Chain A
Amino acid sequence: MDEAGLISDAKRGDLDAFNRLVLAHQTKVFNLAYRISGDPDVAADATQEAFLSAYRKLRGFRGGSFRAWLYRIVTNACYDELRRRKRRPAASIEAIEEDSASENGVGSMTSLFGGEEGPESAVERSELRRAIERCLGRLPPEFRTVVVMADILALDYKEVAASVGAPIGTVRSRLARARARLRECLEASRELSMPGERLADGMSS
């Protein structure tokens, strides 16, 4: 059944239909939550809360991009979860990253990344990934969200605008400024030069 049919059934209370939508979107939703929060536990909680919230609010969905509607819910759930955890003493994102690094890739966070790699490639990619994640984490949340949506989830500007509830012009401006800040951050961490060239070469080929 297509997505519209599943949404229609789920609106009538068909939980199985809704769960098929969950299975279709959960990876992107979880990735969005993880990239916004930088914490797998926050991301898992926000994802679960977002799907519950979406199920309850489904009758209010009036068409348009279902994934943009879902992403908006999970983004808000992430912000709520981060605010809630900020009020309690908890390990920072950077502390989690350091813990993961000290465990040579076998920590809870790195275990989420799949795939077997050769030793050199794994080290390079791991360093680059950590640098990008660190720089993403330093962006203001509204900048980080548009970068994740546009560059990681590959949403177009219209969908990003619908997901964050802002005009397209604002999305365009935030995205450009976020990319410029990321460039500065990555240059400062000296992580971009070699891998960046390699990636640029890869892109042009």
Chain B
Amino acid sequence: MSGLRDLSPKDLERLSAYLDRALTPSETAIVEARLRVEPGFRKALEELRQVVVAVRSLEEIRVPRNFTLRQAEVSRRVASGYPALRLATALASAAFVLLSGLRLLSPLGVRLAAAPMAAEPQSEFAMRAADAIGTEEASAAEPEVALPAEVPLATGLPDTLGATAAGEAQAPGTPTAAATAALKTDDCADCPPAPALESGAMEARPTGTPIPDTDLATNEVAQARVAGAAFSWLAAAQWGFGLVAASLLVVTLVVRRRS
């Protein structure tokens, strides 16, 4: 053994740690025993020691300036998120505009698709329900069911509410009951109570034969519900992005002013 180059990685680590006094007492004893009998081991230690001494001889460098922080510097750095805020505002605004455009274009189709589908099946279903329950009850149910389909056409924003109400009214098994519960008005004092109608409708099905047209109507109603739901999501996303864009704009302006 003739020095550092011939050391195994383990011995190199041991000698290096020995110089740093980082060995356990038992490891130190083993190293010192070997140092007493192995000249090559001693030579390797000396070579390693020279390197450590040389590196430690490097003088400490004076700092070129103080690195203390100033309040303005800290504030400015905190405001360094301004570009990211500006980008986020732009993206949210773009999303809002895009969704607004989609809603402007799509309501026509959604309404055309949703409104007749929502109205016709209800009328048919109500007619059949009237057959099953009785003309008096059906005549009371029909205007109530037809109403939600008309509401979206009459108003702008509550499209989704109308669609949802229509969808609820079309729920199989309890169609008119839901509509009655949702839309019952004070001027309909002589209308039959909803539970009675519900029970009538529920009773009508099991006693009579299944009506295929009703299932078809239910499918169409389901499609209308999907269209309505998609439209409501679109509206929610639009107004969500609008709200986010407005909030970000305010924050961006505040940050810009402070910086």
Binding site for B on A (CB under 8 A): 15, 18-19, 22-23, 26-27, 29-31, 34-35, 40, 44, 47-48, 51-52, 55-56, 112-115, 125, 128-129, 132-133, 136, 147, 150-152, 154, 156-157, 172-173, 175-177, 179-180, 182-184, 186, 192, 195-197, 199-200, 202-203
Q: Are B51 and A186 in contact (CB under 8 A)?
A: yes
- Which residues in A have their C-beta under 8 angstroms from that of B49? 200, 203
Return A106 CB to nearest CB of chain B, in Å.
15
- Which residues in A have their C-beta under 8 angstroms from that of B69? 15, 18-19, 22, 51-52, 55
B41-74 contacts to A, CB under 8 A, are 46-69, 71, 73-74
Q: Are B50 and A19 in contact (CB under 8 A)?
A: no
Which B residue's beta carbon lies closest to that of A41?
Answer: B64
Q: List 12 A-B contacts (CB under 8 A).
A: A22-B68, A55-B74, A112-B64, A113-B59, A129-B59, A152-B55, A157-B17, A172-B22, A175-B20, A182-B51, A199-B54, A200-B49
> B interface, by DSSP: helix, strand, loop or mixed?
helix
Which B residue's beta carbon lies closest to that of A151?
Answer: B55
- Which residues in A have their C-beta under 8 angstroms from that of B204? none
- Which residues in B have their C-beta under 8 angstroms from that of A44? 64-65
Once the chains are docked, how many angstroms separate the CA of A23 from the CA of B67?
Answer: 8
- Which residues in A have their C-beta under 8 angstroms from that of B35? none
Q: Are A199 and B16 in contact (CB under 8 A)?
A: no
Q: Are A115 and B54 in contact (CB under 8 A)?
A: no
- Which residues in B have their C-beta under 8 angstroms from that of A196? 50, 53-54
Q: Are B17 and A112 in contact (CB under 8 A)?
A: no
> Interface size (B, Cβ < 8 Å)?
40
Q: A192-B54, A199-B54 are in contact. List 6 more A-B contacts (CB 8 A).
A: A156-B22, A157-B20, A172-B17, A182-B55, A183-B4, A199-B53
Q: Are B62 and A199 in contact (CB under 8 A)?
A: no
- Which residues in B have their C-beta under 8 angstroms from that of A175? 16, 20
Which residue from A22, A125, A172 sits with its C-beta under 8 Å from B67?
Answer: A22
- Which residues in B have their C-beta under 8 angstroms from that of A35? 58
Return A14 CB to nearest CB of chain B, in Å.
11
Does B205 sit within 8 A of A, measured CB to CB? Answer: no
Q: Are B60 and A27 in contact (CB under 8 A)?
A: yes
Which residue from A30, A125, A136 sits with its C-beta under 8 Å from B61?
Answer: A30
Q: How many residue pairs, one in A and one in B, have C-beta atoms under 8 Å apart?
A: 135
Once the chains are docked, how many angstroms separate the CA of A125 from the CA of B47?
Answer: 19
Q: Are A199 and B67 in contact (CB under 8 A)?
A: no
B51, B57, B59 — most chain A CB neighbours (10 Å):
B51
Given A172-B17, A177-B12: A132 and B55 interface contact (C-beta under 8 Å): yes
Return B224 CB to nearest CB of chain A, in Å.
53
Which residue from B17, B47, B60 sits with its C-beta under 8 Å from A183?
Answer: B47
Which residue from B13, B54, B59, B77 sits with its C-beta under 8 Å from A186?
Answer: B54
Once the chains are docked, how many angstroms separate the CA of A186 from the CA of B15?
Answer: 19
Once the chains are docked, how many angstroms separate the CA of A34 from the CA of B66?
Answer: 15
Which B residue's beta carbon lies closest to that of A179?
Answer: B51
- Which residues in A have their C-beta under 8 angstroms from that of B78? 56
Q: Are B56 and A192 in contact (CB under 8 A)?
A: no
Given A22-B67, A183-B48, A195-B54: A176 and B16 interface contact (C-beta under 8 Å): yes
Q: Are B67 and A30 in contact (CB under 8 A)?
A: yes
Once the chains are docked, how many angstroms separate the CA of A114 from the CA of B13?
Answer: 35
Once the chains are docked, how many angstroms separate the CA of A200 from the CA of B52?
Answer: 10
Once the chains are docked, how many angstroms separate the CA of A151 from the CA of B22?
Answer: 13
Leading 4 A-B pairs by shortest Cβ distance: A176-B16, A19-B68, A196-B50, A151-B55
Return B24 CB to nearest CB of chain A, in Å.
12
Return A185 CB to nearest CB of chain B, in Å.
9
- Which residues in A have their C-beta under 8 angstroms from that of B60? 27, 31
Q: Are B63 and A199 in contact (CB under 8 A)?
A: no
Q: Are A51 and B57 in contact (CB under 8 A)?
A: no
Return B217 CB to nearest CB of chain A, in Å.
62
Once the chains are docked, how many angstroms separate the CA of A55 from the CA of B60?
Answer: 25
- Which residues in A have their C-beta under 8 angstroms from that of B48? 179-180, 183
Q: Are A34 and B61 in contact (CB under 8 A)?
A: yes
Which A residue's beta carbon lies closest to that of B46?
Answer: A200
Query: Chain B, 62-101, contact with A by CB distance < 8 Å: what is the 0/1 string?
Result: 1111111101011001100000000000000000000000
